[in-house]
């Protein structure tokens, strides 16, 4: 019996599991194939909702569903934390000493916001990248009556458009709350323009000017003084804040480092088209966990999952697993509370943001509700 193990029950891992189950339905039912998803949480989390939780537009419960309800019932689930991947023995070792053997392994462990990498940030700043962080920020925004809000961004981080979305939404939120003229918004960004994707930066720069949003480039957060309410960059600039909101630097998961599979940031060296771990024929990597220089986004994980699933099906049927990933990414960008734009791009084609519209915003909200069809393999 062939054994496929998928480490990570988030967007990428769940899509792969359900797609392989669907395409190899007979083999699965006849006991010739076993698919196992390992996840350290019983819940499947749709993280983009946290942006809306922070603005009190959505309740956190809407961001979660039991993973078991999303997976094909024939897929096995192992709940627990993976401690180490033993490539020689082809087994995933769990922290409770269970061992999960594989013929093919898919690593989809995502990424982790690491605010502790910026001294003082956990105490002095807010993040909206976790449920707990979004809830705390929701309270802080509720209590906020005006002042200076600084947005700071560390690298690398998932969802590269989220800092822009948060900034645009924040400005309209302050106006709607009646404190627009008492609220100063300061956006900082680590490189020499306001977004890593040049066309997005070219599109957003005049929007910032028009809306009078102050921006500071070449600002890599280095330390925060929660008492003085100051943030200082590696470049030596210090900014005062009344409220600090950070998209902190991210790392890959510790299990990757413990297994000796990652680089210094626990990102896994991955072939950009085959999505195999470099130097491995039996391990695929997708989503945030890769070291690929593309956006770490749910849509990236989704498009990559299609490729990984197709290759697994091919290999299981005696093929060579030659389907390739072209670097495709799709991101909606909220440009306020009522309008949005979107970008789509791949390795060969840069993004071209279009004019924001209410309709695109409505599409984004609709997708947020329809999301659950995605990991189920229906959308
Ligand atoms: C606020 C916010 C807004 C966002 N907005 C967007 C957006 O608009 N569009 C978009 O495309 N993307 C967006 N994203 C990014 C998107 O959520 C991620 O890029 C996506 O979830 C990555 O998918 P993944 O499958 O790689 O990892 P994840 O979905 O993070 O799943 C990783 C899984 O691995 C499990 N895991 C990790 N380590 C272990 C271990 N040791 N043992 C067992 N299980 C483990 C985790 O529990 C989790 O189930 C946003 C993210 C945030 C935080």
pLDDT in tens, 329-363: 999 999 999 999 999 999 999 999 999 999 999 99
pLDDT in tens, 70-102: 999 999 999 999 999 999 999 999 999 999 999
Measuring CA to CA, which residue among 226, 106, 164, 81 is closest to residue 351? 164
pLDDT in tens, 153-186: 999 999 999 999 999 999 999 999 999 999 999 9
| Alpha-carbon span 241 to 118, nearest angstrom | 16
Q: Is 10 touching ligand 1 by the criterion CB < 6 Å?
A: yes
| Alpha-carbon span 265 to 253, nearest angstrom | 9
Mean pLDDT over 29-57 rounds to: 98
pLDDT in tens, 197-229: 999 999 999 999 999 999 999 999 999 999 999
Mean pLDDT, rounded, of the chain: 98
Q: Is 248 touching ligand 1 by the criterion CB < 6 Å?
A: no
End-to-end CA distance of the chain: 30
Tell which atom from ligand 1 comes closest to the C-alpha of 253: 38
Angle, vertex CA 281, rays to CA 278 and CA 287, nearest 5: 55
The protein residue whose alpha carbon is closest to atom 4 in ligand 1 is 48
pLDDT of residue 378: 85
Q: Is 151 touching ligand 1 by the criterion CB < 6 Å?
A: no
**Domain 2-111+252-325 identical in fold to domain 114-249:** yes
| Alpha-carbon span 71 to 136, nearest angstrom | 31
Phi/psi for 33 (5° steps) reads -140, 140
Q: What's the gap in Å between 298 CA and the centre of ligand 1?
A: 7
Q: Is 81 touching ligand 1 by the criterion CB < 6 Å?
A: yes
Which superfamily, per CATH, for 2-111+252-325?
A: FAD/NAD(P)-binding domain (3.50.50.60)
Tell which atom from ligand 1 comes closest to the C-alpha of 110: 27
Would you place residue 1 in the very low, low, confident or very high pLDDT band (cuts 50, 70, 90)?
Answer: very high
Q: What's the gap in Å between 124 CA and the centre of ligand 1?
A: 25
pLDDT of residue 325: 98
Give me the residue spans of the domains in the chain.
2-111+252-325, 114-249
For a mutational test of ligand 1's pocket, the pick from 7, 19, 39, i.e. the residue with the most ligand atoms closer than 8 A to its C-beta, is: 39
Answer whether residue 22 shows pLDDT above 90: yes
Q: Is 285 touching ligand 1 by the criterion CB < 6 Å?
A: no
Half-sphere exposure of 64 (CA within 13 A, CB side): 10
pLDDT of residue 140: 98
Q: Is 82 touching ligand 1 by the criterion CB < 6 Å?
A: yes
Angle, vertex CA 285, rays to CA 279 and CA 291, nearest 5: 80
Say yes or no: domain 114-249 is CATH 3.50.50.60: yes
Q: Is 162 touching ligand 1 by the criterion CB < 6 Å?
A: yes
């Amino acid at each position: 019996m062939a054994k496929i193990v998928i480490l990570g029950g988030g967007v990428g891992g769940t899509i792969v599991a359900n797609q392989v189950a669907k395409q190899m339905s007979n083999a699965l039912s006849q006991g010739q194939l076993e698919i196992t998803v390992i996840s350290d949480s019983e819940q499947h989390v749709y993280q983009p909702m946290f942006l809306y939780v922070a603005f009190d537009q959505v309740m956190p419960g809407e961001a979660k569903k039991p993973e078991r309800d999303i997976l094909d019932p024939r897929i096995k689930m192992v709940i627990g934390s993976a401690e180490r991947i033993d490539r020689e023995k082809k087994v995933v070792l769990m922290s409770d000493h269970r061992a999960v053997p594989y013929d093919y392994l898919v690593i989809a462990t995502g990424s982790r916001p690491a605010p502790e990498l910026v001294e003082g940030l956990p105490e002095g700043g807010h993040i909206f990248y976790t449920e707990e962080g979004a809830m705390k920020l929701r309270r802080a925004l509720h209590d906020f009556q005006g002042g200076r809000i600084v947005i700071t961004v560390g690298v690398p981080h998932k969802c590269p458009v989220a800092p822009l979305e948060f900034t645009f939404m924040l400005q309209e939120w302050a106006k709607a709350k009646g404190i627009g003229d008492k609220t100063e918004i300061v956006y900082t960004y680590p490189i020499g323009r306001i977004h890593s994707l040049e066309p997005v930066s070219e599109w957003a720069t005049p929007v910032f000017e028009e809306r009078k949003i102050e921006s500071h480039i070449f600002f890599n957060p280095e330390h925060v003084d929660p008492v003085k309410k100051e943030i200082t960059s590696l470049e030596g600039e210090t900014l005062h804040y009344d409220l600090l909101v950070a998209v902190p630097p991210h790392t890959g998961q510790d299990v990757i480092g413990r297994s000796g599979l990652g680089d210094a940031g626990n990102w896994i060296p991955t072939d950009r088209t085959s999505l195999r771990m470099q130097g491995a024929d039996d391990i695929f990597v997708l989503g945030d966990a890769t070291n690929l220089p593309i956006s770490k986004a749910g849509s990236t994980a989704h498009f990559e999952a299609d490729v990984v699933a197709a290759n697994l099906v091919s290999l299981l049927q005696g093929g060579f697993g030659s389907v390739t990933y072209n670097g495709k990414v799709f991101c909606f960008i909220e440009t306020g509370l009522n309008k949005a734009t979107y970008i789509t791009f791949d390795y060969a084609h840069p993004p071209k943001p279009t004019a924001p519209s209410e309709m695109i915003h409505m599409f984004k909200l609709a997708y947020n509700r329809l999301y659950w069809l995605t990991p189920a393999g229906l959308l």
